[in-house]
Structure 1
Amino acid sequence: MMRVKPAMFLTLLLVQMSLSFDCFLSFTLKNCSMTFSDTVTVMCLNGHLQKIPDDVPLNCEVLDVSSNQITEIKRPDVNRFTQLTVLRFTRNLLLRIEDEAFVKLQKLKTLDLSHNKISNLTQSMFVGLSQLVSLNLFSNRISQIAPNVFQPLSSLTRVILNENLITNLTDTATLFTLPNIKIIFLNTNRFTSINSDHLPFNSSNVTTLSLLSKSLREFILKRDIFPNLSSLNLKAGKFFDWRVNSDAYLNRLTHLSLVKVNLSSLAPSSTALSLYRI
């Protein structure tokens, strides 16, 4: 039986410890904690931070600065983190995002800006985010949307714009024309109409559309602009006008959820639907 010399044993032990250390690393930065397993993750939560700390490593892939007091995002703030795939700013005090603030985040897949005070989506806000898949703008104060602000988001499949101050659905028209868009949530906004005559696109790939809003007064389709729609959620006020000129326009619809909608306004349809009225 071969005997291992103490020096060799110590070397093997150090190698094993080094491998274990590389597989999972956790330590605390000045205002954040960092873990390294499959990805380099930095969490800077509930720290009363007004900006991203300077000691956050540039190779981090997931950065979460939620529940702080950050009021704006400038170009130098996040563009230095070129390896990011997930970025979360939820529950801050964000009022402004500088144009091209994310231009160097070409690997970013998920961007969460929910629960802030953003009111204006400017023309070049999302430039560079060609790989972004999920965008969350839930519970802001968005009322102004530049015409082509969403155009750079060619990989986007899911967007949440619930609980904002959008008054005209046409302002979001670019979203519907994105090549990979599947899911759009626009609940609790201020628009009153969904009318194909007012929407400047011929067809959308969206499959799930949620428009729960007590201000909604009409859903009118005179053109087949949603040929792939399989799930539609609507909420309306007391008076609601439903007009779909042909059953063929919604022939892929398998789920229709109607909240506070007068079902007598719906014409019988041959399409198999699951109807829910609350």
Structure 2
Amino acid sequence: MSTLENASAVLKLFAHESSSLPQQGLSFSDVASRLPLPKSTLSRLLVAMEDQGLLVRNPANRLYSVGELLLAVGGRQRAKPLTDVVAPTLTALTDEQGCAGMICLLEKDYVRIVSVFNGCPHRPASYSAGHRLPAANTAVGRALLAGYSERDVIDRLVPGAAAHASFSQHGLTGLLQRLTVVRRQGWSYARNETRPDQSALATSLTHPLRNERVGLCLTFPSLSDGNAFPQHLLTRLISVTRMLAEKIGDPGWRHR
């Protein structure tokens, strides 16, 4: 492993710190027991990370904690709305894949489109920013709803159930079953549900410190062979979602 990879592995110990680890920091032995590095290599690495402000060591108990440089960067990141964190990545993804994309927020039983990205000028997005769609009847809506418990989903949707086509198509029980699948796999798919001949793949992210949740959605022409969708789109969407989740500390993606 490179020095950068080793430093990243050390920092991940703090990012993923569990209740079984000391809350005030990690000792040299704590780090050494969790990383497959020679002690001499680890010692030099920790000294270098301390010199660069990535770690700080308490002179009283000799425990390491996250350094001022990372705290300063993290503070700026926490101050930034999650939509602003996601937007540059989704812009790059839609440009790369030549498809349209959206960032959405869940508002009670609807999703509101916050930002739209047109990666293909010849196939612009079907909806504009500000448009609202029934959450239960869209891929991105189900990706967002899957972040809530069944009780919360019912409380959100049942009062307005009669207004949503999804309830006549699938029923509440069917929707809850679909959300169970979304929770397990981490993504949602819709084919011709809001527009004929248009499909969508979606994921969601939660910022644990800002208590914000956003949906990431890619839209593309429906393929002719039944329920199929371009596998490479799903692979890339999951990849960038996982990268963003690690960046903001979303616990829902930690073990996917």
TM-score category (smaller protein):
under 0.3
- The structure whose Rg is larger is 1
| Greater relative contact order (Cα < 8 A, sep 6+) | 2
Greater share of residues in helix: 2
TM-score, normalised via structure 1 length: 0.22
TM-score, normalised via structure 2 length: 0.23
